[in-house]
Structure 1
Amino acid sequence: MDQRVSFVTLVVTDLEATRRFYVDGLGWEPEVHVTGEVLMFRVADKVVLSLWAEAGFVAEVGHAPTRGGTPPITLSHNLATTDGVDTVLEQARAAGASEVLAAEQREWGGYSGYFADPDGFRWEVAVNPGEIGQSVLP
């Protein structure tokens, strides 16, 4: 098996609220949008972020996802500068992010903060000065 991830799929409770956040608020361009079903964004050369309406998930997987608390996953948007991090966090705040934690210097050498999308999925916005962090920059 190849070592890769092709799709990251998150189950959302209100697809249209999610669309408003990512498209209207953050300015992302969807590659696929099937109203009431799924919203997909190409987030890397061969990686797609898929936001799937809960009803479709239940129909295909067989049970509803567990809700409540902070989902045990983070997504990360890495940038080259600390100013870039602060700008993205402010964009998330303006887009209506339900929670925004200011960026700070981290003991691992980076600079990062967090925001939550409408379903509470946490996005880390970071400068990662390490080799692997630099390797993911455009």
Structure 2
Amino acid sequence: MDQRISFLTLAVADLEAARRFYCDGLGWTAALEVPGDVVMIEVGPHVVLSLWQREHFEAEVGPIAGGDGVAPFTIAHNVATPREVDDVLEVARRAGADPVQPARQRSWGGYTGYFADPDGYRWEVAHNPGPIGEKVLPRE
């Protein structure tokens, strides 16, 4: 198996609300939309974020585990400077992200903050000045 991820799929309670947040609020462009079923957004070379209506997700993969708290993972969006971290968090806030945790300097040298999408999935917005952080930034 190749060491790569092709799709990241998020089960969402309200597909239209998720589409509004990601497309209208964050300004991303859908590559494929099937009303009431799925919205797919190309988020990088060979990587697609799939927003899948919760009922359709469960019909294919099985029941979703429930409970209090947040999902036990984050999705990260890395940027080149600390200022960009603050700028992206503000865009998310204007798009309706709640909560938004302000960025702060981290002990490992980075600068990060978090926001939640309409379904509570946590996004980390990060400036990572190390080699792995440089590796994930887009090449111009």
TM-score using structure 2 length? 0.95
- Alignment partner, residue 23 of structure 2: 23
- Alignment partner, residue 10 of structure 1: 10
- The code of the aligned residue for 1:48 comes to V
Which whole-Å deviations, capped at 9, do the CAs of 1:10-66 have from their partners, x for residues lacking one?
Answer: 111000000111111110001111111111111110111111101111211232442
Unaligned runs of 5+ in 2: none
> Pairwise mapping of residues 1-138 of structure 1 onto structure 2 (< 5 A)?
1-138=1-138
Whole-angstrom CA distance in 2 between matches of 1:120 and 1:73: 11
Which whole-Å deviations, capped at 9, do the CAs of 1:97-129 have from their partners, x for residues lacking one?
Answer: 010000010001000000000000000001001
SS in 2 for 1:75: strand
Whole-angstrom CA distance in 2 between matches of 1:64 and 1:75: 19
Unaligned runs of 5+ in 1: none
- Give the percent of matched residue pairs that are identical in Structure 1 and Structure 2: 61
Whole-angstrom CA distance in 1 between matches of 2:11 and 2:106: 30
Aligned residues: 138
How far off its partner does 1:68 sit? 3.5
TM-score using structure 1 length? 0.96
SS in 2 for 1:29: coil
